[in-house]
């Protein structure tokens, strides 16, 4: 199956590392192209091209103030990515639960409260 054009698919658009950098930079606040050029040390034409792709897929919004265009990240455009990654939440929750259980077990062992199997230690006859 051929890949979707970067101008129509959010996933392909954010696959480009420079575009992710631009999104992060613009996420702080609205900025003109020249600020992006200086901050990320890219050519103006390259920044404009990346901004065009990001704008077309709905990840960046632009507004004019006089002769200047101000760009900002549009987080609502990332909803598709967020929705897709949500399917992996259960996996990460299980992983974190396993890490937590392992850490708790190790802590009990270091305090001498139990054996590795999780069974309580046997004690001698009560006196």
How do residues 13-30 score in pLDDT, each as one tens digit?
999 999 999 999 999 899
How confident is the model over 48-101, as pLDDT tens digits?
999 999 999 999 999 999 999 999 999 888 898 888 888 888 888 888 888 999
What does CATH list as the number for 10-75?
1.10.10.10
121 with 115: CB under 8 angstroms? yes
pTM: 0.66
Q: What is the pLDDT of residue 127?
A: 46
Domain ranges of the chain: 10-75, 80-110
């Amino acid at each position: 199956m051929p890949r979707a054009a970067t101008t129509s698919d959010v996933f392909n658009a954010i696959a480009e590392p420079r575009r992710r950098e631009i999104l992060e930079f613009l996420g702080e606040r609205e900025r003109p192209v020249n600020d992006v050029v200086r901050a990320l040390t890219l050519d103006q034409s390259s920044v404009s091209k990346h901004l065009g792709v990001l704008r077309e897929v709905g990840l960046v919004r632009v507004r004019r103030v006089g002769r200047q265009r101000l760009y900002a990240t549009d987080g609502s455009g990332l909803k598709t990515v967020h929705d897709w990654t949500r399917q992996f939440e259960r996996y990460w929750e299980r992983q974190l639960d396993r890490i937590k259980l392992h850490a708790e077990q190790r802590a009990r062992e270091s305090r001498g409260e139990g054996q590795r199997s999780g069974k309580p230690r046997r004690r001698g006859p009560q006196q």
